Each structure stands twice: as structure tokens, then as C-alpha cells.
Chains A and B, each alone.
Chain A
């Protein structure tokens, strides 16, 4: 998993090059016929590689299409101005006209309609949509070091998914390990050598360290893969940037998120009779962690909705939510402080409860205790 994720990214870059090499848009010249029932469409018949040939009537155009003189043709009806409908005829079964053909037809129509009415430069501007370049300023009016845009979003979103995956996988390992040791009846031998607290700490730290190495490897390999992807692919990929403070927060939220889920897993591992039952129970706790992933589009377009502020503070969802939200908007410092504070307090509280549960239920095989029984033993503790 540690190596697989960066390798998959490398593979994707390779696949992109391969596919883009095969699927590069054709540069072959193409001839398209047209029938002008409205009149006035004589100019601009050369649109890039596409040449437009006029036919007087549809039958002529159909004959040319069948003979293969033209690859397709379209009819500009007399009522085109009022309806906007263009009828296109082709021998191919297609989902829709290719973007190149659509652009050629559209530009041909627009250019002819505007010819002589507006300057040529204006026609070109109308045909090409505006390029909206956004610059984020700081409160002093200077250009902000961290700019917005979709390029910002990709790394935090991908990382949010990986973080959720990593936390779930690591705590599942812990749960499975404990479950196996319970099923194998090894737990008693272990507890005769180390204390319940040592066993709990050892497991959380051991598996946590492995998870942290994994996350650190991803974080460190991200800039390298990013520069490789950006230089070789370009486009949107070249606009990808790591939000400022992202690396620090990613590692911090992994440590905190993992610790919380590890401690919860240990408690579940102690009370459940085997690893399978434990994995069913932990599912309930991982649902909040996945909420930001399920509602990604809502997070993208309404990042400052109060619901997202709640999920940034709620400890079971905050690790993934904060990381993903960093990509779409700036999170106020107070929210980060409260989020981390609540997470730390929850970890400490859960740890105290878990050490009580751990010792009591680790050696109980068979029936899983009910919530009431667990609460009673916590009180008598």
C-alpha cells in the first residue's frame, strides 16, 4: 500500500502518455458539406483542417455523402435565426458530433452571421469564450501566496481519500490482530508477560508508526509526482499546488485521527468475540469519517456551510473533513484550533475508558457484553 499508491500515480502518468499518444485528435483534413436554405453563408469555408463545401439542395449533398466526397453535411434551414436548429446528416453512428466538427460548424455560422457587421477581431472574441483569470489578494491588497482554483483541490481530495483509507486500514489491522489473538487464545500468554496498558500502547504505537511511515511517504512523494505530472501532462495538472501548511496538518490529522480510531478499535477488539464481529462494529464509527467523501460535491461548492464547520469539529469526521476542506477554502484558525483540541480531548477520554474495558473484557471469550454491562463495568472500573 505504501509503495503502491505512488506507483499507481506513476502508472497513471505513463498511461496518460500512452493513451494521449494513441488518441491524439486527428489532424487529417476533412470535408463537410452544407446546404444554405437561409442564404448568406458563403465565406469562412475553411475552419482549421475542416473545409466546408456548399451544395444547392439536400439531394446533391446526400449523393456526395454516399459517394464519399464529404464525410457529413448539414442544412441551415430558412428559419434558423428564429429556431437555432441545424440539421446534420452523417453515415456514422455517433453519440454526438465531435468537438472539432461542432466548433467548425459553430464558428462558420457565427462568422457568416456577423460578417460586415462587427470588426473581424470581435468575431474571433465571440467565437472564443473569455478566459477568467482569478487572483486572490490578501487583506493588504497584495497577491496572496496561496491561490485558489481547481488545482488546489486535487491533492487535498486525493489525500483525504488516502487518509481515510489509511486510518481505516491501520485500525482494521489492529482490530484483526487483537481478534486473532483472542481467537487463538494468545492474549492470556501476552498478558502474563506485559500489562494490558503496555499491550494496548504497543499495539497502537506499532501499527500507528507503520501507518505514519506510509502517510509520510505519500506526502514526501507527492511534490515529486506533482512536478513530474505537471511537466509532462500540463493542463489542469500543471496548476496543482499543495496548499500552504497542508503537509503539517496532514501528518497531524493522521496522527490524531489514527490514534482515536486505534483506541476505539482496541476497545471494540476487547469486547468483541472475534475479528469479524469487531470489524462489523467498527463500521459504525467509520461512517462519520467517510461523510466528507460521500458529499464531496457539497463540500466543493458550499465549503463554509455550518454543517461543514460541525464536521470539522466532530472528532470522528474531522481528520478527513479538514484535509479535504483545505483544498476548497481557507479554514479559519479558530476552527482548526477547536477541531484539534476536541480531537485531543476525545482521544484522552477514549483512552481512559478503553484501558478499563481492555483489561476486563480481553479475557472474556464467547458472548459479547451488552452496552449496559460495559457501562456498569466502566462505573465500577
Chain B
């Protein structure tokens, strides 16, 4: 059973179609990346998944059920626009928001203490929210989004404003959740985070699906036919290489149409070139993003 099944959802605001016939699914134990330029319809899509707004048409099922009040307790959400009651103390904030997810006070407090300890925030539990730094507030919000042990967690820009130590802490916790079989949806502009964390991605632009699938498969689909090479000694002419581009510390060999990287490697070995690195060049997600979004803008 899929954790989320989104089927042909459409949403318009004041005659402007914001999400246009979008379908995708996310399975349990998966970290799924939702990417797209600003105004692409990511937040609207997430809000429809969270039952905060209703789609004009199409369906969203969470763990096989149509969205209802009871399914909301199985969802965890860290919105991009986030905040907490400034005058409330950390522990009280967490307990109150956990109670809205159906947790009783005792178990909420117990779990809150455990998560605060795990994130190193335990000494701050008696402080008011307004006394915390932005990054600390964000950690508290992350705790709020996972305290009720949800099956699906949606995180909108979770790393924005965090220092590198907290980014690593958050990543570890996300992997823990993944290993527990939870489905995670990550919406961010930081492509390197997506590359490190996500198994599959959905890229949307102008509310429409432009890329969807396994990240490795997508990258190989967009790879240019070239290899990256670090070597010692002299390299002569290599048959099948159309162009040789020299970069700092390495060389990029652009292959002719019918030449495979395997064939080039064999030829380099036969030329007795000492090879330190041989890598089939796949473009970073950032480049794919720019290429796809750029094409749409043209």
C-alpha cells in the first residue's frame, strides 16, 4: 500500500491554474523529493495532501484512505511558513500541538523529552519560544511534526536556517524515520540535499509534472555522453572521443555518438595511461533543474 497516492489533482485560485492534473505516489520507507522553481505549485500540492485545502478535482489517498479528520493524525507536517506561540514554553508548545494530533498529555511529554534530548534541546525545554534562536525554533518544529509517530512526514524546506551541525542531525533523524518504514516527502530548493537523501523525485513547473521517477534513472537520462578523467602521464589521441575539455585537476572527454565509456576505458588502459579517476559524467540535479525549468521558460 502506498503511503500517498495523488491522482489527477487540479487546483485553481481566481481563474489561475496553480496545480494542473498532477499524479504521483510515495511508498513507505522512501524519501521523496518534491522540487520546482518558486511559484511552481509545490506548497499548494502539499496543502492538498495535508487536507488544508481541497483540490478542485482529483483524489488524494493517505495510506489507502481518503483524506479525513482521522487520517490527519497519521500525517506530520513542517510547513515552509512556520511559527509557534511566542509566549508559550517549549515543552508546553510541543505538548499542545501533539494533543491536536490525538496524543494524551503523559505520552506527549514523555516523547517530547526523548526527542528534546536526542536533539540536544532538553536544557531549553523551559524557555519561551521567543527566547530561542531561529534554528532552535526550527528543531522544535521538526519535533512537533514527528512526535505523534506519523506514517507520512512532509517537510517543506527543512534545512533552511540550520547550521551544518543541525543539518547533519536532521539528516540522521530523517534516515532513522526512513528505516522505520515512514514515508518522507522533502520539498527544498537545495538540490544537493535532495541528491543525498532522496530515492525518487517529482519536479513540477507551472503546476505540471515535468520530471518524475528514480533519481539515478533521471540523472542517467540527462547525462551527456562524456567521462571525467584524472590521470598521470601523457594521453595521446583516443579513438571515439570527439572533444577533450581540460578542467582544473581533471579532463572531460566528450564521446562520439556511438562510443561507450567502457570502450574508452579499454583504449586508455591499452595506452598504459595511469588512471586515478574514471567517472561517467552525470549532470548534478541542479543542472537538470536549470535545464528543465530553463526550457520551460524559453
Contact = CB atoms under 8 A, between A and B. Distances in A.
Interface of A: 180, 183-186, 188-195, 198, 359, 363, 365, 373, 376-377
B81 A365 contact: yes
The 10 A-B residue pairs with the shortest CB-CB distance in the complex, in nearest-first order: A184-B83, A193-B100, A185-B83, A185-B81, A192-B77, A188-B79, A191-B52, A192-B50, A186-B83, A185-B82
Contacts of A359: 53-54
**Most interface-central of A184, A190, A193, A376 (chain B CB within 10 A):** A193
A67 B69 CA distance: 93
A380 to B, nearest CB: 9
B82 A194 contact: no
Nearest to B141: A189
Contact of B101 (A183, A193, A373, A376): A193
Contacts of B54: 359
Given A185-B81, A189-B77, A376-B14, A195 B97 contact: no
B51 interface: yes
Nearest to A202: B100
B53 A189 contact: no
A192 B80 CA distance: 13
Contacts, number: 55
Interface string B79-109: 1011111100000000001001100000000
29 contacts: A180-B85, A183-B83, A184-B83, A184-B85, A184-B86, A185-B79, A185-B81, A185-B82, A186-B83, A186-B84, A188-B47, A188-B82, A189-B79, A189-B82, A189-B97, A191-B50, A192-B50, A192-B51, A192-B75, A193-B72, A193-B73, A193-B101, A194-B100, A195-B51, A195-B69, A359-B53, A359-B54, A363-B47, A363-B53
A189 B69 CA distance: 14
A192 B69 contact: no
A183 B72 CA distance: 23
A378 to B, nearest CB: 13
B79 A192 contact: yes
B85 A189 contact: no
A198 B82 contact: no
Q: Chain A binding site: helix, strand, loop or mixed by DSSP? A: helix
Nearest to A377: B14
Nearest to A193: B100
B34 interface: no
B195 to A, nearest CB: 28
Contacts of B77: 188-189, 192
Given A185-B79, A194-B69, 17 more contacts: A180-B85, A183-B83, A184-B85, A186-B83, A188-B47, A188-B77, A188-B79, A189-B82, A189-B144, A192-B50, A192-B51, A192-B52, A192-B72, A192-B79, A193-B101, A195-B69, A363-B52
A82 to B, nearest CB: 77
Interface string B115-130: 0000000000000000
Interface residues of B, number: 24
A184 B53 contact: no
A198 B72 CA distance: 13
B54, B97, B100, B141 — most chain A CB neighbours (10 Å): B100
B27 to A, nearest CB: 21
Contacts of B50: 191-192
Contacts of B101: 193
B81 A188 contact: yes
Contacts of A184: 83-86
A373 B73 CA distance: 33
Nearest to B56: A380
Contacts of B97: 189, 193
Interface-central residue, B47, B52, B77, by most chain A CB under 10 Å? B52
Contacts of A195: 51, 69
Nearest to A360: B53
A97 B82 CA distance: 71
Given A363-B53, A365-B81, A373 B14 contact: yes
B128 to A, nearest CB: 13
Nearest to A373: B14
Interface centre among A183, A191, A376 (most CB of B within 10 A): A191
Contacts of A191: 50, 52
A48 B69 CA distance: 82
Contacts of B81: 185, 188, 365
A184 B87 CA distance: 11
Nearest to B100: A193
A17 B50 CA distance: 64
Contacts of B82: 185, 188-189
A100 B147 CA distance: 79
Contacts of A188: 47, 52, 77, 79, 81-82
Nearest to A196: B52
The residue among A186, A365, A373 with the most chain B CB atoms within 10 A of its own CB is A186
A228 B82 CA distance: 54
A198 B83 CA distance: 20
A93 B182 CA distance: 89
A201 to B, nearest CB: 13
Nearest to A376: B14
Nearest to B99: A193
A360 to B, nearest CB: 8
